């Protein structure tokens, strides 16, 4: 009789354990803050948030995707289109802009922070406009490279110390937080391009692609130096750039084929980045989406 009761008890406990929610299903993070520029905020991707409207934040941007995947209820997205490193501790005035520094969202109990910053420090928008304009008279050459030379690499180098200061500022305000530095999705293919659909001269495509690799490389180096995690969406976005087919691309071209700002991630790109960051936090490597 005792043996039978013991067996029944063991079976009951086993079934209960199988049916009970796994401990790992509970959110690991409770207070998440998202910092960064328009590659975070998601301008023109529906639905656009109103807090404030001038920052052009989407409910489908990668921080929103990540918060949903991780089940984080206390989520603050203070990213803003046009943001530079100086706008982390200072006010970003104008449009895009907001009335408080992005660091104002950081609290002592913040336990997860993602940040994507640096593209506007090197003049991302002006570079694209300048290179597109110069391509009109020389679509097969490299007029952009002739114009900028090594100066863009120098801009990336000069931005490194600013990114380091941002990461130090996060650690100072939220010392217990897991910090994830997120790089930029691939904008151009490694060669060739697709002029005039994306008006970048054939010779400038590898030049600008290399500048982006340098930017992401710098972000990765600064993350490592600060003891932060680095997630590089460039690595998973081959064939998803501005020259890809509308149903494949994660970054829109000069003339968008889905609801997103030109030369910025669309909803599919944001979903891919959110999934990649979630995989990194889980300690797994995302090789495809």
Catalytic residues: 38, 264
φ, ψ for residue 203 (rounded to 5)? -75, -20
Are 85 and 156 in contact by the 8 Å Cβ rule? The answer is no
Q: Pick from 179, 163, 286, 154: which is nearest to 221 by CA?
A: 163
Q: Pick from 34, 30, 32, 64: which is nearest to 47 by CA?
A: 64
Structure tokens at 82: 């046009």
- Which residues partner with 198 through β-bridges? 194
Angle at Cα 171 formed by Cα 168 and Cα 174, nearest 5°? 145
Q: Pick from 210, 217, 205: which is nearest to 131 by CA?
A: 205
Structure tokens at 138: 């020389």
DSSP 3-state assignment of 85? coil
Within 10 angstroms of residue 194's Cβ, the number of other Cβ atoms is 17
DSSP 3-state assignment of 229? strand
Within 10 angstroms of residue 248's Cβ, the number of other Cβ atoms is 11
Q: How far apart are CA 90 and CA 183, in angstroms?
A: 22
């Amino acid at each position: 009789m005792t043996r039978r009761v013991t067996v029944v008890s063991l079976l009951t406990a086993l079934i209960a354990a199988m049916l009970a929610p796994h401990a790992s299903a509970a959110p690991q993070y409770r207070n998440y803050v998202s910092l960064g520029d328009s590659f975070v905020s998601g301008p023109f991707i529906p639905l656009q948030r109103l807090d404030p409207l001038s920052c052009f934040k989407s409910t489908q941007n990668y921080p929103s995707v990540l918060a949903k995947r991780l089940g984080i209820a206390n989520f603050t997205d203070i990213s803003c289109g046009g943001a530079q490193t100086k706008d982390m501790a200072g006010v970003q005035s104008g449009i895009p802009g907001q009335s408080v520094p992005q660091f104002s969202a950081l609290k002592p109990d913040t336990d997860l922070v993602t940040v994507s910053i640096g593209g506007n420090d090197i003049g991302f928008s002006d570079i694209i406009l300048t290179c597109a304009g110069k391509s009109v008279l020389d679509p097969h050459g490299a007029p952009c490279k002739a114009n900028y030379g090594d100066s863009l690499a120098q801009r990336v180098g000069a931005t490194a110390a600013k990114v380091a200061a941002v990461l130090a500022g996060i650690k100072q305000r939220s010392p217990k937080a897991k910090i994830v530095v997120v790089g930029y999705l691939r904008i151009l293919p490694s060669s060739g391009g697709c002029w005039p659909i994306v008006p970048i001269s054939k010779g400038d495509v590898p030049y600008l692609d290399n500048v982006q690799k340098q930017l992401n490389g710098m972000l990765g180096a600064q993350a490592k130096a600060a003891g932060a995690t680095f997630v590089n969406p460039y690595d998973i976005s081959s064939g998803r750039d501005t020259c890809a087919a509308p149903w494949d691309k994660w970054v829109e071209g000069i003339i968008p084929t889905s609801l997103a700002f030109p030369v910025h991630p669309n909803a599919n790109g944001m979903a891919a980045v959110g999934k990649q960051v979630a995989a990194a936090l889980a300690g797994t490597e995302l090789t495809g989406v």
